[in-house]
Amino acid sequence: MDRTVQLTARPVARAFAYDPPPPRRSLHLRAAAVLEGNWTGTSTVPSHGLYPHQWSWDSAFIAIGVRHLSPLRAQTELETLLAAQWGDGRIPHIVFNPSVPLDAYFPSPDFWRSSTAGRAAGAPRTVQTSGIVQPPVHALAAWLVHCADPGLSRARSFLARVYPKLAAWHRYLLHRRDLGGGGLASVVHPWEQGMDNSPCWDAPLARVTPAPARSFRRADLAHGSPEDRPTDLDYGRYVRLAAEYRDGEYADGQGEFAVEDPSFNALLIASEHALARIAGELGATGTARHARAERLTAALVERLWDPAEGMFFCRDLRGGGLIPERGVSGLVPLLLPGLPRDLAATLVRTACGPHFGLGSSTRLPPSYDLLGEAFDPHRYWRGPAWSNTAWLLERGLRLHGERARADALREAVLETADATDFAEYVDPYTGEACGATGFGWTAALALDLLHEPTGHGVSTTGTGTFDGRGLSDVSDLSGTDGEAAKAGKGGERG
């Protein structure tokens, strides 16, 4: 090499014992990078390897976070999902990407056969979907996305276009899925409730004859530890239920599995309040929707609340009675503004007590009872903690005046997301990462919490306010005095 080149060349960087460690990118930038990496151009996948399609309630949570980066992209996320809505109003739990190979995920489009088996229910002909649903977070997401940039939303007529679809979705749940006759929506498959492998499903699933293991090939075992995933026996029961629903042309009320779930219905109630806000934005009155949300709250308490145990339980409509398993689903109704004060206080005590250990023995709320026989800190929904349920409980704590606990939970969610590279779920005791990393809703909800100032009386971004304004007083939301609103008594809130 020429001597001049040697002298002027940049020296090779060498590590030095006293150099500070390289700066780590901020949590905000890393969350944004996850969401950018999972973006397909029209929607966001939860995880490219394990979940390579669009999932219904994932997209709602993702839109809530993405609105802080790009309100337009958040609107597109929801619009893409709603474009696959069925004629009967249901929003399918998966919208399949036709460019993804069939063997990348099971059950694949050729299992669900939506365009043929779902023809009577109005399944779209040009988009392949599943035939079951997931929790109705969508109206809440749509309202929050609107609030992120009302000018853009109005210019694109975003709410005017999605409102009829969301109203049809709620009609489907309130009429076609009121299988118990008590006003609440039922789920007809564990996958619909979202907490797929919860011990809450063990009793009703025990009646289901599993499909033979040789009749299906699980793609999920290639992307995670088999000991953390549902067993083949459980998966066989899931497949049997889904196949029978499909073979019945997706008609509701005929299957062996029908359960009223507190979390599913709490999210429906929250979204009814959000639909009332959307109606108001569009120049209509939301009074009827607020009233419906209050009636649903009363039905939830009447049918699913167990005062002796201090929480909500699932009701098995085929086996009869409440299912005596403590899942995190039974705490989620804390996010409801119409929940009576004594019930809200009891739910907080239960969440912080020995069964869930929030704020003491656990970093994040476990998905299942710490003292339950089926508890497993790593097995899918049988104990691990998830960011979406933590986010919902953080909203509920903040709404009902538990600011210190809400702030502590917020910090725990952010610290865990940071330490685990946005893991799908974590060990509730240690925070150890489980499942996929770079998970969509973990990044999105961390991003949302980063935009939430601590010590706020009422969340500006979360469930309970259903608002995007910087409100700090509950009375601003309800038209009632602040104390009555905190007590969950009277007034219409969205």
Planar angle of CA 214, 219, 220, nearest 5 degrees? 115
DSSP string covering 227-274? GGSPPHHHHHHHHHHHHHHHHTTT-TT-SS--EE-HHHHHHHHHHHHH
- Kindly state the tokens that stand for 434: 């489980």
C-alpha–C-alpha distance, residues 92 and 77, integer Å:
14
196 an active-site residue? yes
CA-closest candidate to residue 326, choices 264, 260, 262, 413: 262
C-alpha–C-alpha distance, residues 188 and 292, integer Å:
23
- Kindly state the tokens that stand for 364: 């994040």
C-alpha–C-alpha distance, residues 17 and 9, integer Å:
24
Residues sharing a CB contact under 8 Å with residue 44, sequence separation 6 or more, in sequence order = 35, 38, 54, 58, 59, 62, 66, 77, 440
Residue 135 CB-half CA count within 13 A: 29
Sign of CA dihedral 29, 35, 40, 41: negative
Q: Which residue in the list 234, 272, 376, 424 is annotated as catalytic? A: 424
C-alpha–C-alpha distance, residues 487 and 483, integer Å:
6
13 DSSP assignment: P
CB contact at 8 A, 329 and 365: no
Residue with tokens 């997401």: 141
CA-closest candidate to residue 343, choices 356, 355, 353, 330: 330
Instruction: Give, to the nearest 10 degrees, the angle between helix 387-399 and helix 56-66.
Output: 60
Q: Which residue in the list 196, 256, 421, 481 is annotated as catalytic? A: 196
The identity of residue 492, as a single letter, is E
- Kindly state the tokens that stand for 119: 């023809």
C-alpha–C-alpha distance, residues 82 and 85, integer Å:
5
Q: Measured between alpha carbons, how far apart are the two ends of the chain, in Å?
A: 73
228 an active-site residue? no
- Catalytic residues, by residue number, are 196, 424
